[in-house]
Chains A and B, each alone.
Chain A
Amino acid sequence: MEAVSVITGIAAPLARSNVDTDQIIPAVFLKRVTKTGFEDALFHGWRQDPDFVLNQPEYAGAKVLVAGPDFGTGSSREHAVWALRDFGFEAVLSSRFGDIFRGNSGKQGLLAAQLTEGDIERLWAAIDEQPGRELSVDLTTKTVSVGSLTVPFDIDDYTRWRLLEGLDDIGLTLRSEAEITEFESRRHSWRPKTLPVK
């Protein structure tokens, strides 16, 4: 997982509330055997509509999704985060997230930033003025800026630290590598080994 500090890129507005994980990625895509390549699955239903925001050329290559309240509710599928990430999003902004979605995001390096509803609307207005403009999400100062507008966001300290350090769950555990190796050196010889017996 890459360390995150400042994300600068095109911001796409998603002016809908209660976007659940079934809308982010429909269940039919869960049959796949990979952890990547879900970019085509993201918002699959909505993307059939040519007017959908992510089908607009000015938002091509967007890195930040500015979403309405209650984003990522519903089923716990981790695929929702994978799909957003594979599509190219590095941060999602909303005034409220589904708990599990927020947890999964932090674990996979997707920044889920919580703003007030008013600030989300201010950001939408700023994007509307000049569609396709760049926006900056600064994890070090916990602020979002676009043009002359700068607004604060919330994220819990633990997740912020992990993102700044670029630590996924495994990376975090591997910080205890020395302890694991030491534990292994004390392991009894008769504990199970799966290698074929001769």
Chain B
Amino acid sequence: MAESRSLTLAEKVWNDHLVVEGTDGAPDLLYIDLHLVHEVTSPQAFDGLRLAGRPVRRPDLTIATEDHNTPTRGINLPIADLTSRTQIDTLRSNAREFGIRLHSLGDVEQGIVHVVGPQLGLTMPGITVVCGDSHTSTHGAFGAMAFGIGTSEVEHVLATQTLPLKAFKTMAITVEGTLRPGVTAKDIILAVIAQIGTGGGQGYVLEYRGSAIRSLSMEGRMTICNMSIEAGARAGMVAPDQTTFDYLEGRPHAPAGDDWTEAVAYWKTLQTDEGAVFDAEVFLDADALEPFVTWGTNPGQGVSLSENVPDPSGILDANDRATAERALEYMALEAGTPMKQIAVDAVFMGSCTNSRIEDLRAFASVIKGQKKADGVRVMVVPGSARVRIEAEAEGIDRIVTEFGAEWRFAGCSMCLGMNPDQLAPGERCASTSNRNFEGRQGKGGRTHLVSPLVAAATAIRGTLSSPWDLVEAPELVATSLAATSLASTSLASTSKAV
């Protein structure tokens, strides 16, 4: 390792986990600090261990939760779908057999795997995190190197706590300026993906930097890192700072006492060095950003909410044009329609992108005292059982139900059509999740990706809307915005109290 060379954050974390440096084009062998497991991608990995007679090397660095298949109501009843139930039962017996900590449906720490890790204080700066799930990139918000892996790799990590890997390239995404009230982390990342494309990050670790990123709460940073994968990237990272330390301090698994002091001193070194060179750079102006929304069937097909559905005939590349035409057909949209005139059938507030307490607070602050639009189904799904409890302590559940929305138990829910929460064919949904692929939220369902604030305003008006459109109640907007910026400071105290 060339110690004197200026290094990026990603390179520092990588070097810090080198067990064996690869020579002659062989991959490096990297140590894995934290392995998150869920029911969908783990069964065959455990079965592989069993066949080979191998134990789990470090059960103490492994934690499992149930999320993808779990229902979000009637959670005390047996799971109706047979495949889902088999996956859950298999995880339970594997966890027992191999001695893995598991948080099952009904447990206070159960929830979406990417919400649970950070909330327990397991996700921390400078560690390596893997999970058999592409949105593992979420954990990079802490300055960790976190990425999704396949089932054979899950088995590999269970058996060896390491992974053979070729180094990733690095890309800096610099977002400078101040977000206008009503514009959030979700809008930043949707705008980034629209700019670089769904393949733009392929092979890269993205490092998000700049004043607009620094001023985001941990929740906001997680939203951004979460969607790095939608730009094709292996991982996304934000260098740790005081916001990170404040979020972590006092959490169940965070270092304490002398360990805390030592850890923070080390974490402070996890910055990209002056003069370090990225393989690619992208810039975005935060001042100019508006609430953003997707119109198509991949997360890169997005525009500002004040714009119109784009006209594919203006796209030069023939492939892109065909893709856009197909997307509009699937989405049943006419080019030139103002985005704000698009009426929705459903609003989904949840998923590992936006289901943390701050997201729920932002949503609640906009809908408080309002009634949802007639005929719109609104579902609010906390990311974890812990978030649900916390929200209930703050009265968010009452605001949600008085609004006319459904208050559910924790899980992936309508983010993907793998559990009972699904769109019907042809239904249109404003969703705070991360993927608008064809059929993602249910066969034939149509998804518009939005921020929690846009989801809330849309639920009130019934058409895609931002808090800026709630002119009848300008003070509402003011409160909602205050709530979002306050959340980062208030979170540390409230969440630790639970």
Contact = CB atoms under 8 A, between A and B. Distances in A.
Interface string B383-417: 00000000000000000000000000000000000
Given A78-B151, A194-B59, 17 more contacts: A33-B43, A34-B47, A35-B47, A36-B47, A173-B164, A176-B29, A179-B19, A179-B29, A183-B19, A184-B31, A190-B262, A191-B33, A192-B253, A193-B253, A194-B61, A194-B101, A197-B253
Contacts of A188: 262-263, 266
A188 B124 CA distance: 13
Interface string B28-70: 0101011000000001100110011010000111110000000
Contacts of A107: 152
A170 B60 CA distance: 20
B420 interface: no
24 contacts: A1-B52, A33-B43, A33-B44, A34-B44, A34-B47, A35-B44, A35-B47, A35-B51, A169-B152, A170-B52, A170-B156, A173-B29, A176-B162, A180-B29, A180-B162, A187-B31, A188-B263, A189-B259, A190-B260, A191-B33, A192-B253, A194-B34, A194-B253, A195-B60
Interface string B237-281: 000000000000000110100011011001000000000000000
B122 A195 contact: no
A3 to B, nearest CB: 14
A15 interface: no
A176 B60 contact: no
B219 interface: no
Given A180-B19, A194-B62, A170 B44 contact: no
Given A35-B44, A192-B124, A197 B160 contact: no
Contacts, number: 96
B489 interface: no
B160 A173 contact: yes
Interface string B151-191: 11001100111101000000000000000000000000000
B83 interface: yes
A174 interface: yes
A12 to B, nearest CB: 25
B127 interface: yes
Contacts of B151: 78
Interface of A: 1, 31, 33-36, 78, 107, 168-170, 172-174, 176, 179-180, 183-184, 187-197
Nearest to A189: B259
A180 B60 contact: no
A195 to B, nearest CB: 5
A159 to B, nearest CB: 14
Contacts of B19: 176, 179-180, 183
B60 A190 contact: no
B60 A33 contact: no
A110 to B, nearest CB: 14
Contacts of A194: 34, 59-63, 101, 122, 253
Nearest to A1: B52
B83 A192 contact: no
Contacts of B83: 31
List of 10 A-B pairs having minimum Cβ-Cβ separation, nearest first: A190-B255, A33-B43, A190-B259, A35-B47, A194-B63, A35-B44, A33-B90, A192-B122, A190-B263, A173-B160
B86 interface: yes
A78 B164 contact: no
Contacts of B335: none
Contact of A192 (B33, B47, B86, B160): B33
B473 interface: no
Contacts of A168: 52
A187 B252 CA distance: 20
Contacts of A31: 83
Given A31-B83, A169-B152, A170-B52, A183 B31 contact: yes
B486 interface: no
B20 interface: yes
B449 to A, nearest CB: 27
A180 B160 contact: yes
B260 A192 contact: no
B87 interface: yes
Contacts of B34: 192, 194
A193 B61 contact: yes
A1 B51 CA distance: 9
B140 to A, nearest CB: 15
B86 A33 contact: yes
A194 B33 CA distance: 10
A172 B124 CA distance: 30
B252 to A, nearest CB: 5
A100 to B, nearest CB: 12
Contacts of B127: 191-192
A174 B266 CA distance: 30
A198 to B, nearest CB: 10
Contacts of A189: 259
Contact of A33 (B47, B62, B152): B47
Contacts of A190: 255, 259-260, 262-263
A192 B43 contact: no
A173 B20 CA distance: 10
